[in-house]
Homo-oligomer: A and B are copies of this chain.
Amino acid sequence: MSTNRTNKKPATLADVARKSGVAAMTVSRAINNSGYVSPEVRKRVMAAARALQYRPNMLARQLKGHSLKAIGILLPDIANPFSTELVSGIREVLVPHGYTTFIATTDRSSEEERAALQSFVDHRIDGVIVATRGTRFGTESLQSLAKQNIPTVVVGRDSGVARIDSVMADHYQGAFDAVTHLISIGHRRIGFIGIAHEDRTSLRRYAGYAAALKQAGIAEKKEYIAGPPDAPAFATQEDGFQAMMQLLDLPKPPTAIFARNDFAAIGALRAAHTRGCRVPQEIAIAGFDNIPLAAFTTPPLTTVEQPIHEQGAQAARLLLDRLAGTAGRARTVVMHCRLVPRESTLK
């Protein structure tokens, strides 16, 4: 009755050593396949370890200067389909190299971002991949990481910090292509949904929209821009709905809409249907991101696909370079976006 299987404290190296009648060091060697251990002793040790349910204490290991082989991923939230694909791409590269990944989310709050990053550092992760939206606060956090020499890669925007790599998709080009597509099928009155007019310049997707109009000799119209006034960081289906309603109320509403993202586009779609406005016959709608549901809306949504999985994989590769100490100054990788035409903008 003395050996209780459900013991409080996990077994240690010393416990295993005692049980198998060797020194702790020998157990360490056997467990880690380092140095010489006679086959016979190794077998005995392994048996004892299994019996005791021994698991090495990684944290103690870390104290001796060993890496935990863990990397942290900082995400704005996890609802976004973007996040899954990104994580999947990251893990595809990192896991074969023996790294574990931990995810922390920030609920889009700078304060939480700071705390999460700190928490990663406290837990001595080896590196960080940051995919939150850029804020001044966020940049400060990145600087702090850089100062602590923690390998970091930013996804989705420029890091704005020396020694921190970034991976992003060319949203400008994607938006340009989408709007050029709308123009090519005959539209001249094209609205932009998902950001307030006063915040528009911070958005590369807007810049692409504006450039496409300009190239076609179409003047930008302030009243064709609609979005949530105080939340420039994102746009939801509700935002898209409101914005579309607003545009449809105009005396001369647009005949085509480019939405900042698919969620906003889906909100716009709903607004159009609510007003009895047929898509694409009376109004064409295009989105951005190609979320999985975009192919299943009514009608299926024209959108722009960005290579999310590949961005994750690329970020992971850059991080591996940094971890190996191979990398020099900051690199920026920009990936191409692809227009996915569907029925919502059918000619």
A202 CB–B CB distance under 8 Å: no
Stretch in A2-10, A41-49, A251-259 with 4+ CB within 8 Å of B: A2-10
Q: Known contacts A55-B122, A58-B122, A298-B269: does B77 contact A79 (CB below 8 Å)?
A: no
Contact A270 B298 (CB under 8 A): yes
Stretch in A25-33, A95-103, A282-290 with 4+ CB within 8 Å of B: A95-103
A139 CB–B CB distance under 8 Å: no
A-B pairs with beta carbons under 8 Å apart, 9 shown: A7-B149, A10-B148, A55-B118, A57-B124, A58-B123, A58-B124, A88-B107, A100-B104, A100-B119
Contact A59 B53 (CB under 8 A): no
Q: How distant is the Cα of A212 from the Cα of B21 in the complex, in angstroms? A: 65
Q: Known contacts A103-B104, A103-B105: does B124 contact A59 (CB below 8 Å)?
A: yes
Contact B241 A53 (CB under 8 A): no
Chain B: minimal CB distance from A277 (Å): 12
Q: How many copies does the complex hold?
A: 2
Contact A298 B296 (CB under 8 A): no
- Residues of A participating in the B interface, judged by any CB pair closer than 8 Å: 5-8, 10, 53, 55-60, 62-63, 68, 70, 75, 77-79, 81, 83-85, 87-88, 91, 100-105, 107, 115-116, 118-119, 121-124, 147-149, 236-237, 241, 263, 266-267, 269-270, 273, 292-293, 295-300
